[in-house]
Amino acid sequence: MLEREPTPQYSQEAWLRYRRLFAEDITALQQRLNQVLAENGDILPHGLRASIYETRLQIQMSQESYFEIAGPIPATLTREQLFRSSFQGMVKAHGTLCVQAERLRDENHGVLKYVRRLMNSW
């Protein structure tokens, strides 16, 4: 979904426009992921739990890269590169986690339907 959308081009105005996403929204997502792990970490399938940890790390790195744009940057990078990689890293991590969660939901739904059929056949 989001992965198919073009990454915005860097400009000072674009950086300011997306600042809230990288400051507040990513922080809120990180807090929500922490909450999910704290409340359900014991019962989450290993693959999903690992994806949550990877997503947290990737969005944190994206957030840090985004705010590096405002300061001095290494000569080997451009602001456009940091801007693009911040978006792409965040979108990819979030998309991967969403796909895995949907797949798990669909698998569990199939199992539940099978159990219901078994229960109804008795």
Q: In the chain, what is the greatest distance between 2 CA atoms, to the nearest angstrom?
A: 71
pLDDT per residue as tens digits for the range 4-22: 667 889 999 999 999 999 9
Give a yes or no: residue 122 inside a domain.
no
pTM value?
0.77
**52 and 104 in contact (C-beta within 8 Å)?**
no
Give a yes or no: residue 40 inside a domain.
yes
Burial 88-109 (b: 16+ CB within 10 A, else e): ebbbebbeebeebeeeeeeeee
Count: domains in the chain: 1
Domain around 46: 2-97
Give a yes or no: residue 82 inside a domain.
yes
Q: Is the pLDDT of residue 119 over 60?
A: no
Helix axis angle, 79-121 relative to 46-68, nearest 10°? Answer: 160
Residue 120: predicted pLDDT:
62
Cα(52)–Cα(41) distance, integer angstroms: 10
Closest by alpha carbon to 90, among 116, 65, 119?
Answer: 65
pLDDT per residue as tens digits for the range 19-67: 999 999 999 999 999 998 998 888 888 888 899 999 999 999 999 999 9
Give a yes or no: residue 47 inside a domain.
yes
Helices (H), the chain: 12-17, 19-20, 26-40, 46-68, 79-121
Give a yes or no: residue 113 inside a domain.
no
Give a yes or no: residue 115 inside a domain.
no
